[in-house]
Amino acid sequence: MLAQTVTGQNVRVVALIGNPNTGKSSLFNALCGMNARVGNYPGVTVEQKVGRLSGSTELIDVIDLPGTYSLAARSADEAVAVNVLSGELPQQTAPELAIVILDASNVERNLYLFSQVYELGIPVIAVFNMWDRVESEGLSVDAELLSKRLGVPVLCTSANRRRGIEQLKRAIEESLSNRTDGPKPEQLARAMFPPAFHQETLALTNWLAENGRKPSMYQVDRMLIDTDGHFQKTICQSGLPGIADRIDEARKRLGEAGCKVPMFETKARYAWVRKLIDGAVTRQESRSASSSDRIDRWLTHRWIGMLFFVLVMFLVFQSITLFAKLPMDGIEWLQGQSSSLVESVLGPGALRSLIVDGVIAGFGGVMMFLPQIAILFLFIAILEDCGYMARAAFVMDKLMSSVGLSGKSFLPLMSSFACAVPGIMATRTIESRKDRMVTLLIAPLMSCSARLPVYILMVSAFVPATRYAGGWISLQGIVLMVMQSLGAIVAIPVAWVLKQFFFPGEPATFLMELHSYKWPSVRVIQQRVWERVVAFVVRAGSLIVCTSILVWAAAYFPGDHTQLDTILIELEQKPSEALQQQANVLRSELIESSFLGMVGHRIEPIVKPLGWDWKIGVATIASFPAREVIIATLGTIYSLGSGETHESEGLQEKLKAARWPEDGRPVFTLGTALSIMVFFALCAQCSATLMTIRRETNSWRWPIFSFVYMTTLAYIGAWLTYQCCQWWS
Amino acid sequence: MSPVKTTLDELHPGETAVIVEIIGDDVVASRLMEMGLIEDETIGMIGRAPMGDPTEYSVRGYRISLRKNESVRVIIRKDS
């Protein structure tokens, strides 16, 4: 199966595979440049990354497969690599060549994966990456000897420094033009499997062939070796009667023959690797490994390690708030400037409102996240590349395992306290799919910075300024603190429920490689930050802008804006207090008669048990795209004009003065304020977050799920809060 | 002295031992073996995380972190 381009020229496909931390993405970038096409494999959460080999006369696509230690697949996600390599993925052209990347300082475990790829029957090139490290650490690898023993090209590169890349490109082209025979069966690690196993696979292959199935040799091997593995499950579900029993019986016979599944496989492969590298690779302890151990003695030390971890986290999050402020203010300023520019060109009317309140506000909302995303990913890239990230997970693992997650979930969740969008994007560092999904789904519960303005407004207006302990402890401060931590506290049972009922099965494993410390590479960091930023702007951004325009339209139509527009024109010519007042009243009337206002009145019976009137209901609905919008909307509805801030005295006074029309009781009591805050603490009012979840999970199912579960939680939480307050007073 | 059979989680910092076997045939067991923890391999204990779990080990020239529920699956032989 060959892909065709528009010009009719064939595109040839090669695949890149290797262990994690072998510099695979740097090598991919060195081969293809910065323009990779990123998508998702159909039906799984695995990212599909394809690039075009640069500087080649032929059209060659390079597929970057996810980093893995083994081709044994337990889930559909893990089977992606095998399926791509054996050309069994329907939408993906079968690769004609596999490039296996190896880390010379950890040669045995890297060659383990090689031994599996070698058996797939696809031509292979072995590449020792990070070759500069081999040289500087006095390791020795005889690439020529290995190449002779394996019968495949063995190359050495330093992708970070762009060394050896041209040779690799030539080797790729050469391998594609002259097809070789591939390894002989006796060259494979498989030849070292016990005879009993070969009998069983032969019997099973024949039986499958009689029943019209022709799986590859590798798949038959995996059906027998991996207990409850992906290939066993697929064949058992394919409607072949008796297959499950056949596999069970074969395993039982293997066990009786002293050939224990899965031990014999790993044993044979590692023995094969030992034989292969004997005399070709020195197995001495690398210098960086022992100096890494010395650093680890301090950085994972009982007290010093903990202190260092807290310090690093403190530094990261301080920098985010510190350095993001300036660019964010800049973006806000630009947004204001472009709005005034539009306002100076266009007169008041629907078009101007669409551009200013819909497009510019939506686009500005997207850009507003960029500084935080860029800074967080800068730190993540540095920490990951130098090796500390794995240690941070190591240090925090015990704490996170108490809620069924691993140490790797800590940083994404911590980041979500600033903003859930970069936090959710950071869950990519979690290899376990189930852990990643749970982390991603609870991340929006962490109290992000957009919730703070709402809390401050409500607390300063409606929580009494009582002080305790001689003025040292204020009630307002306590309420603020409770609201800030509420989401994280609720996240604990939510994580437990998700783990138990939505992502059960897989036992908690935390096998993690702690690779040696090294100086981070500028090129790698640049690339990672760039990738994240582009991914956010292009894929989440467009959807966020769409949502803002939709909400704008709901709040604008179908009201008649001519009177307001006339006043606005007058105002622009000659500002006056009275006219401004009139415009504000008109604005609030227009919102009330808009689609949004209609919905607000309709839902009043639903929000009344929370202690809310329809205006709060409308403001809450309007703030579903972005929760901080509630302040501006409350300002508009309580006819203050837009542009309110949470510190503004005017808004607080207006809210305090609001009365129920039936009996003249004040709308905002302590109970109402608390119920609003609890609702905002738990609700998924952020289109950017939902779109990021959609992008990261490659499905609409999870953003909808998040939205439903969080809104339900928020409603129940707000109802309980209000009812308790009523009962108390 | 005769060798003592115990589990990997009993190792102290700086100690080394030889792996005897991995218990079980599930995902955890095969993951451990894929990562190179196989009978007759030497494994060393580097140190524990600040909260006592997981633990860093050295095997086949690299470092791996294992939780206690994984390291109890590894039977080792220690020369006492």
CA distance to partner chain B, nearest, from residue A219 (Å): 17
Q: A9 Cβ partners below 8 Å, 6+ apart?
A: A59
3-state secondary structure of A524: helix
CA distance to partner chain B, nearest, from residue A382 (Å): 20
Q: Which chain B residues touch A292 with a CB distance below 8 Å?
A: 63
**With contact defined as beta carbons under 8 Å apart, do A444 and A686 qualify?**
yes
DSSP structure string for chain B: --EEEEEGGGPPTT-EEEEEEE--SSHHHHHHHHTT--TT-EEEEEEE-TTS-SEEEEETTEEEEE-HHHHTTEEEEEE-
Q: Two tokens at A551?
A: 């909400």
Q: What are phi and psi of A408, to 5 degrees?
A: -70, -15
Q: Cα–Cα distance between A20 and A425 in angstroms, integer?
A: 19
Q: Which chain A residues touch B48 with a CB distance below 8 Å?
A: 300
For the cut 50, the answer to whether the pLDDT of residue A359 exceeds it is: yes
User: Choosing among A297, A511, A514, which should be mutated to test the B contact, i.e. which has the most B CBs within 10 A?
Assistant: A511
Chain A residue with Cα closest to B63: A514
Q: What is the pLDDT of residues A417-431, one digit of tens each?
A: 878 888 898 888 787
Q: How many C-beta neighbours within 10 Å does residue A328 have?
A: 17
Q: What is the pLDDT of residues A287-335, one digit of tens each?
A: 677 788 889 888 988 889 999 998 998 888 778 777 888 888 898 888 8
For the cut 80, the answer to whether the pLDDT of residue A272 exceeds it is: yes
Helix ranges, A237-349 (H)? 243-256, 263-277, 287-299, 304-345
Chain B residues with a Cβ under 8 Å from any Cβ in chain A:
21-22, 25-36, 38-39, 46-54, 56, 58, 60-67, 69-70
Q: Cα–Cα distance between A600 and A619 in angstroms, integer?
A: 8
pLDDT at A644: 47
Average pLDDT (A277-290) is: 76
Q: Cα–Cα distance between A646 and A456 in angstroms, integer?
A: 7
Q: A68 Cβ partners below 8 Å, 6+ apart?
A: A17, A19, A20, A78, A81, A113
Go through chain B and tell me how many residues it has: 80
Q: Which chain A residues touch B50 with a CB distance below 8 Å?
A: 300-303, 305-306, 309, 395
Cα-Cα end-to-end distance for chain A: 74
Strand A47-52 with A60-64, pairing: antiparallel
Task: Say whether the ipTM exceeds 0.85.
Answer: yes
Element (H, E) at A467: strand A467-468
CA distance to partner chain A, nearest, from residue B53 (Å): 6
Chain A residue with Cα closest to B31: A511
Chain A residue with Cα closest to B48: A300
CA distance to partner chain A, nearest, from residue B80 (Å): 24
Secondary structure of A191-219 in the HEC alphabet? HHCCHHHHHHHHHHHHHHHHCCCCCCHHH
At A99, the amino acid letter reads I
Q: Which residue matches tokens 């897989």?
A: A506
User: Higher-confidence residue: A415 or A63?
Assistant: A63
* CB-nearest partner of A510 from B38, B51, B54: B54
* CB-nearest partner of B25 from A261, A289, A302: A261
DSSP structure string for A688-701: HHHHHHHHHHTSSH
Max avg pLDDT among A14-18, A281-285, A376-380, A681-685: A14-18
* CB-nearest partner of B27 from A106, A263, A509: A509
Q: Cα–Cα distance between A332 and A326 in angstroms, integer?
A: 10
Q: Two tokens at B72?
A: 């109890």
Q: Which chain B residues touch A305 with a CB distance below 8 Å?
A: 49-50
At A271, is the pLDDT very low, low, confident or very high (cuts 50, 70, 90)?
very high
pLDDT at A179: 75
Average pLDDT (A263-289) is: 85
Under 8 Å CB pairs connecting chains A and B tally to 135
**With contact defined as beta carbons under 8 Å apart, do A24 and A81 qualify?**
no
pLDDT at A121: 86
pTM of the model: 0.82
Using only the alpha carbons of chain B, give its radius of gyration: 12
Element (H, E) at A371: helix A361-386
At A43, is the pLDDT very low, low, confident or very high (cuts 50, 70, 90)?
low
Q: How many C-beta neighbours within 10 Å does residue A677 have?
A: 26
Q: Residue A485: which of A678, A627, A672 has the closest Cα?
A: A678
Q: Which chain A residues touch B46 with a CB distance below 8 Å?
A: 293, 296
* CB-nearest partner of A300 from B35, B50, B58: B50
At A562, the amino acid letter reads T
Q: Which chain B residues touch A263 with a CB distance below 8 Å?
A: 21-22, 25, 29, 33, 38
Buried-exposed string A693-720: b where 16+ CB fall within 10 A, e elsewhere: bbbbbbeeebbebbbebbbebbbebbbe
How distant is the alpha carbon of residue A450 from its chain centre? 20
**With contact defined as beta carbons under 8 Å apart, do B63 and B46 qualify?**
yes
At A616, the amino acid letter reads I
Q: What is the pLDDT of residues A498-520, one digit of tens each?
A: 988 888 766 567 788 888 888 89
Max avg pLDDT among A76-85, A409-418, A663-672, A711-720: A711-720
At A697, the amino acid letter reads T
3-state secondary structure of A97: strand
Region at A505 (left for phi over 0; alpha for psi -120 to 50; beta for the rest) = left
**With contact defined as beta carbons under 8 Å apart, do A349 and A565 qualify?**
yes
Q: Cα–Cα distance between A163 and A157 in angstroms, integer?
A: 5
pLDDT at B2: 67
Q: Which residue matches tokens 């609870």?
A: A442
For the cut 50, the answer to whether the pLDDT of residue A4 exceeds it is: no
CA distance to partner chain A, nearest, from residue B79 (Å): 22
Q: Cα–Cα distance between A488 and A590 in angstroms, integer?
A: 39
Chain B residue with Cα closest to A112: B34
pLDDT at A541: 74
Q: What is the pLDDT of residues A131-164, one digit of tens each?
A: 887 777 778 889 999 999 999 999 999 988 889 9
Q: Which chain A residues touch B67 with a CB distance below 8 Å?
A: 397, 401, 508-510
For chain B, what is the mean pLDDT? 90
Q: A367 Cβ partners below 8 Å, 6+ apart?
A: A331, A335
* CB-nearest partner of B46 from A260, A267, A296: A296
Q: Which residue matches tokens 């339900």?
A: A712
pLDDT at A16: 95
For the cut 70, the answer to whether the pLDDT of residue A387 exceeds it is: yes
Q: A340 Cβ partners below 8 Å, 6+ apart?
A: none
User: Choosing among B22, B32, B34, B41, which should be mutated to test the A contact, i.e. which has the most A CBs within 10 A?
Assistant: B34
Q: Residue A82: which of A266, A218, A204, A205 has the closest Cα?
A: A218
Q: How many C-beta neighbours within 10 Å does residue A478 have?
A: 14
**With contact defined as beta carbons under 8 Å apart, do A459 and A439 qualify?**
no
pLDDT at A3: 46
CA distance to partner chain A, nearest, from residue B8 (Å): 14
At A650, is the pLDDT very low, low, confident or very high (cuts 50, 70, 90)?
low
CA distance to partner chain A, nearest, from residue B67 (Å): 6
At A456, is the pLDDT very low, low, confident or very high (cuts 50, 70, 90)?
confident
pLDDT at A45: 65
Q: How many C-beta neighbours within 10 Å does residue A151 have?
A: 14
Chain A residue with Cα closest to B51: A398
* CB-nearest partner of B30 from A72, A283, A398: A72
Q: A178 Cβ partners below 8 Å, 6+ apart?
A: none
Q: What is the pLDDT of residues A587-616, one digit of tens each?
A: 778 877 888 888 888 888 998 899 998 888
CB contact under 8 A, A106 and B60: yes
Q: Cα–Cα distance between A70 and A431 in angstroms, integer?
A: 13
Chain B residue with Cα closest to A391: B49
CB contact under 8 A, B61 and A105: yes
Q: What is the pLDDT of residues A564-588, one digit of tens each?
A: 788 778 877 777 777 777 777 787 7
pLDDT at A266: 92
Q: How many C-beta neighbours within 10 Å does residue B24 have?
A: 14
At A703, is the pLDDT very low, low, confident or very high (cuts 50, 70, 90)?
very high
Average pLDDT (A470-479) is: 82
DSSP structure string for A643-671: ---TT-HHHHHHHHH-B-TTT--BS--HH
Average pLDDT (A481-502) is: 89
CB contact under 8 A, A511 and B35: yes
Q: Cα–Cα distance between A21 and A258 in angstroms, integer?
A: 36
Region at A68 (left for phi over 0; alpha for psi -120 to 50; beta for the rest) = beta
3-state secondary structure of A565: helix
Alpha carbons within 13 angstroms on the beta-carbon side of residue A86 total: 17
Q: Residue A269: which of B66, B60, B20 has the closest Cα?
A: B60
3-state secondary structure of A122: coil
Helix ranges, A402-474 (H)? 410-415, 420-425, 433-442, 452-462
* CB-nearest partner of A394 from B34, B36, B49: B49
